[in-house]
Amino acid sequence: MNNDFKDIFDDNELIEIDEKDLEIRYQWNNEEYENDDYPGDVFQEMANLNPRKAGLGVQIWAEHGGISRNKSDVLPRVKISIRNIVISVSIESGPKILAGGDNSKIKHSELNALKKGIEYVGRNWDIFLNHYMDTDFAFDDEALFSTLRSRGEYR
């Protein structure tokens, strides 16, 4: 089992990581998913962080005002994508994978890129959380980008 990747899942959500085929099985809201399933809509009303400008090999999708659209049991989160793989990651200093995957086996290089994206969210969790919790456009998409720029995390 890939212990470097295992530590980003909540203990009660991770079921199995098959290192040979690099498939991930997990549960979310008491239902089981694999890396080719994804619960919910994907990119509705989200800001896209350009991978080149963020210095990453993945795209990060941040939902402005997500708190006003999501159920109370949904943790604040961003989505991270590479190819056609999408994972949902909690917004906190030690982000966890909440859900993810889309019709593909995850390659080792993609695991590393996803992990770097998760670390990026962890370094900037306060910025992403302000963006997610904003309901009056005081911290909109442009504020997200400019705050990341001022921190040196976005060009």
User: How do residues 63-120 score in pLDDT, each as one tens digit?
Assistant: 999 888 876 667 899 999 988 788 899 999 999 988 765 434 678 888 899 999 999 9
Residue 15's pLDDT is: 45
Sheet holding 46-49, edge to edge: 46-49, 59-63, 77-82, 85-90, 97-100
Residue 80's pLDDT is: 93
The model's pTM: 0.71
Q: Which of 43-57, 85-99, 129-143 has the lowest mean pLDDT?
A: 43-57
Q: How far is CA 19 from the centre of its chain?
A: 21
pLDDT tens for 12-25 read 444 444 444 445 55
Residues 19-40, mean pLDDT to the nearest whole number: 48
Q: Are 115 and 108 in contact (CB under 8 A)?
A: no
Ordered alpha helix ranges (H), 71-153: 108-123, 125-133, 141-150
pLDDT above 90 coverage of the chain, percent: 49
